[in-house]
Structures are given as structure tokens and as C-alpha cells.
Amino acid sequence: MADDKSFVFVMRGAADIDQMAPVMWQSLEMGHPVVAIVASEYKVANDFRLNFLAAYPRFTLLHLPGASFAPSGLKKYGRVRWNAMRTRRLLRSINAGMCIFEWGDGVADIAKADGVLSRVRRTLFTDFVLQTQLSAKQLGIPTVALPHGHSTKLNLIRSKQVEQALANNNGKLPFANRDSFDAYVFCANYHRDVIVGNSTMSGNNVEVWGSARFSREWLHVLYRIAPQVQLPALNGAQQHRVLFFLPKWHNMVDRGATISLLHALGKLANIQLVISGHVRGDDTQLSASETAEIAALPSVVFAPQGANSVSLIRESNALIDVDSSIAFDAVQLGKLYIRPKYLQDEAVRTVYDQFGGALQATTQDEVVSALSAQELPVVSVPDAFRLAVIGDEASNISQQYVLRLRQLMQQ
């Protein structure tokens, strides 16, 4: 029976799990066996989403720290532990019917490589995620790439890294190898158009399914199961807790103006300003001197290290963020979302420019004024925003994901 075949989700860590969890959850709700493979040294025992899913009897977690990504050097030879033969045995043993990956490289180029050395490299020294794709293809198991996030942008962010990639590939992002997936899924049409239009992907396997991560049905679960976070209570003068996610500096963000805004908000007596970094790492950090100066401000609290973004949003009345998709949580939950538009290069166009849904401040004074008020501003969210960004919520988006995965598995 098709339902006895497992949906196998191959992930690296927290960011992947965040995006895959709603699809795993809905799959389990609909009776599908789910195998979650975490191919890294990520501390799976501490992940509240995996712990929640573990309560389902048809959920299996395979933690494979030995399959961690090894880009170069001697570590590359560790890939032989998860060679083609062993990976195929793994997929057979878990009765894989569908292999689901986060966005990233496919295997169109690797699979075509010929010659003895190419075959040896492919069999023994291919990274686990790519090796799993190759093994799935050899076993006739469909592969699907799901979004590792969402995008707020209507155009391509031409950061230095992107410009270099374009320059090295005749003005296109080198994504042709992603054509090997049976389906390469986008949350929204506008993001599909940006990526396919600026890359070497053919677009033949591209599909738009809406956003399971930001769907109402999953947010209802997610904000119920998220762990508590310990933040100082508001003092007598403070009326609002405002969460500030530090931006990714390379996304054409004015660092100096951002620091200035943090200083201004840190002096407001009527708010508690909670400052947190981005889930994807080092490109959102403050320098030691910036941290010391900001920490000395009377209204500033730094989020506890490792605090989950969901937990922080739940405890806040308002969110300030430049361009991360986590802001969609605040919008969906009816919390005030302030996008300080002036902090980012004017060439960047976002969904908020076209559809609304945010208080888009064009100066520092606008942000300060909005948060100094006794009552926080109310920003309406048009239906057009939800349809374009989240998808057709009336159809139960996460359920539609599972139904489409089932179709692909049965083809």
C-alpha cells in the first residue's frame, strides 16, 4: 500500500527543521510514515519541533552526525562512510517512497559525469545529501526540494556574493543542476519568477505550493509547542515589549543607520527592546564595541543565547525587522510589524511595497514616533497580501503539500 511507504526528510539543522516541520506534522496527521534524517552534529534532543513530532507513532528520527557536510580537506574522505551502496541500503531499510530535501544543489551534473574517476568520486566521495539524491534516483524514488525559507523580496538582492556568482556564470545563478528534482517547490509566484528568471534552471520542474511554514494551521500548533523564554518583566514605565531582529548586513543594509536606530530605541522609557540575531548565523552579529554600547542603554535586553525566534515573537507586542521572512509570523499573528525601509538600499523591492501588511518607516523618527505612542499603531493586512505571500489558506496549505507529495510518489 502506498501509504506504507515513508516520506523521508533530509535535513541539516534548525533552519531546515523549521521549514520541514509543518509538512512532517501534516504527513503524520494524514497517516504517512515519516523518517526525519538529520545529517549533522545538530543537537536533535533539544529541538522542540522534533520532540513534538516524536509523539506520533509513525515518526522515526535518524540522527547521522557522521554524515555532516565536509566541504574540503581530509574531512572529505569521511564521505566514504556514506557511500552509494550504504545510502541505498538505508533507503531500502526505511521503505522510502519519497525523499524530500531543502533547496540546494541537485545532481543533474553529477549523474551525467562519465569516466572511471567520475564514477569513483560519485560512488565514494559525494556529500551525503547529494548521495541520497543519487541513490533515490537509482532506486526510482522521487525527490522533491522544499523551500528552506520564504522571501520578502520582489527582485534579486545583488549582494557582493550574488554579483560574483552572476559574473562567473554569464549573468545567471548556476542552478541548472536543480533540474534533477522531480519537483522544485516555491512558496510564491513572485519568488519563483525572481529565481527562475535569474538562474540557469529550466523551470520545467518548478511548482508553487504556498507556504506551509506560515500557514495558519501550522502557526496554531507552532506557537503552542514553542518553549518558554525567560525575559525580564516590563518595569513600571514600560508598556510594550519590542523585538528587534538584527538584519543580515550583506543584504544591502545600512549598518550605521541600524546601530543609530538601536541607540534611539534603547533610550525609550516606554518599551523594552529585545535584540536578537538571525537563525542563519554570523552575518547578523554586532561587534564587541557595538554590543557594549547598546547593552548599556536603559531599555535594552539581549535575547538569551539560543532563544527560539518563535518564543521571542510570542512574548512581544511588536517586531522590527528589515527583510527576514520571520516577520510573516508577526503579520499572521496580528502583531505590529515595523519594517524600517530606509535601512535597506532603495533598489530592494519587497512584498510590503506591493501589498502592504507592514508599517514601512522611511526615517528613524517614524519608528521612534510609532513606538513612543501609548497605543501601538494598527496595520491592516490585505487579503491580496495573504494570497500572494502565504497562499490559499482556505485550502489548508500544509494538507495540500501532503496531497501533492502523495501524487508525486504514486506517479
Instruction: State the DSSP string of 308-341.
Output: -HHHHHHT-SEEE-SS-TTHHHHHHHT-EEEEEG
DSSP state of 95: T
Q: Which long-range contacts (CB under 8 A, 24 or more apart) does 302-307 make?
A: 302/274, 302/275, 302/276, 303/229, 303/231, 303/243, 303/274, 303/275, 303/276, 303/277, 304/229, 304/230, 304/231, 307/229, 307/276
CATH 3.40.50.2000-classified regions of the chain: 2-215+392-410
For 136, 157, 158, the CA distances from 270, given in Å and listed in that order, are 56, 36, 38
SS3 assignment, position 133: helix
Domain 2-215+392-410 is in which class? alpha beta
pLDDT of amino acid 380: 94
Q: Has this prediction a pTM greater than 0.75?
A: yes
CATH 3.40.50.12580-classified regions of the chain: 231-389
**C-alpha–C-alpha distance, residues 351 and 162, integer Å:** 21
Residue 295, amino acid = A
**C-alpha–C-alpha distance, residues 266 and 262, integer Å:** 6
∠ CA 226-229-230, nearest 5°, is 165
Task: Report whether CATH 3.40.50.12580 matches the domain 231-389.
Answer: yes
pLDDT of amino acid 279: 43
**C-alpha–C-alpha distance, residues 150 and 314, integer Å:** 20
Q: What is the helix (H) or strand (E) element at residue 92, kind and residue range?
A: helix 84-93
Answer for the pair 234, 318: CB distance below 8 angstroms, yes or no: no
pLDDT of amino acid 78: 61
**C-alpha–C-alpha distance, residues 135 and 131, integer Å:** 6
Closest residue by Cα to residue 210 from 12, 18, 390: 390
Nine cell digits for residue 173: 545563478
Closest residue by Cα to residue 10 from 20, 23, 1: 20
DSSP state of 181: S
Residue 112, amino acid = K
Taking the chain (411 residues) in consecutive chunks of 10 residues, what is each chunk's mean pLDDT? 82 93 98 96 95 98 83 59 88 97 86 59 71 94 94 89 91 94 97 96 96 97 97 95 94 94 97 80 75 95 94 98 95 97 95 96 98 94 96 94 96 85
